Structure 1
């Protein structure tokens, strides 16, 4: 009975130790990820600007804009914004470590199997995004 318990404990420790050693992603993968992320953010900002320019001429949009500007002056909203920005700055290192771990796991276990297909799919999607939601 004790032998089985010790063997199970050793096995559990080996599994937990192997899971805690997450490989670091290569610089090439990190650069590719950062490039894709930056391009996506530029696409969103550009689309938001176009949407704001189109909707900005509407009377309801003007009323909504005035309401949002009046909310900015409220001290309650400013306090909530300060707390949210503080939480965001505290959580940033945790998010960066989690992102690096996920990229490392992807590169180690998934990229050999789905990397080429995923890259080709992203390239095909870029063609449509360049037409309908350009980054520039």
Structure 2
């Protein structure tokens, strides 16, 4: 059995150990021994997770900005909380951003905004706000 075959089996049984072994092979530049199929799958999943995370954080920022700007019924009782949430989400977003993720957010900004608007539409007594991302 080759090292690559062993890695494939390891991936099925202990993905943490597979990751440790893969990292060691990369450090040693033993690229021919890598389990490329599963490595590619993991990198794709990592990218998807990162994109989902930053999109979710940006959506939360937009929702809270919309709450601050447009939901007057709840404003007095909640505005401090909303401001705190915006600051927290911005901090978390900035900690996750890379150049590639910034580019992805810029590409998807209108969709992210629309999902925030959709969420806001369930709020009672909400003044109409911009349907397009300003």
Q: Same fold (TM over 0.5)?
A: no
| Bigger fraction of residues in helix | 1
TM-score for the superposition, normalised by structure 1: 0.29
Larger Rg: 1
TM-score for the superposition, normalised by structure 2: 0.29
